[in-house]
Amino acid sequence: MNAGGRLVYVPRDEKGRLLRVAHHPFEGMTATLAVENEELQVWLTAAAPAVE
């Protein structure tokens, strides 16, 4: 459980993969994650555009 931190709202596909991250609840969301969540941080890093 989140101990006072911020949460984000996410949908997952049928294999459990994150598809989207939002700061507000939305139709189709399937879970909440703490912003400090390791899985979320990995997903955000992978989704970030490359900087040259």
Which pLDDT score is estimated for 3? Answer: 56
The neighbour count for residue 18, using CB atoms within 10 Å, is 21
* Residue-range domain boundaries for the chain: 7-47
- Beta partners for 7? 34
pLDDT digits (tens, 9 = 90+) for 1-52: 555 679 999 999 999 999 999 999 999 999 999 999 999 999 999 877 766 6
Residues 40, 22: contact at Cβ < 8 Å?
no
Residues 21, 43: contact at Cβ < 8 Å?
yes
pTM check: above 0.85: no
Which pLDDT score is estimated for 51? Answer: 63
Q: Both tokens of residue 19?
A: 């598809």
* 46: enclosing H helix or E strand: helix 38-47
Whole-angstrom distance, CA of residue 46 vs CA of residue 28: 23
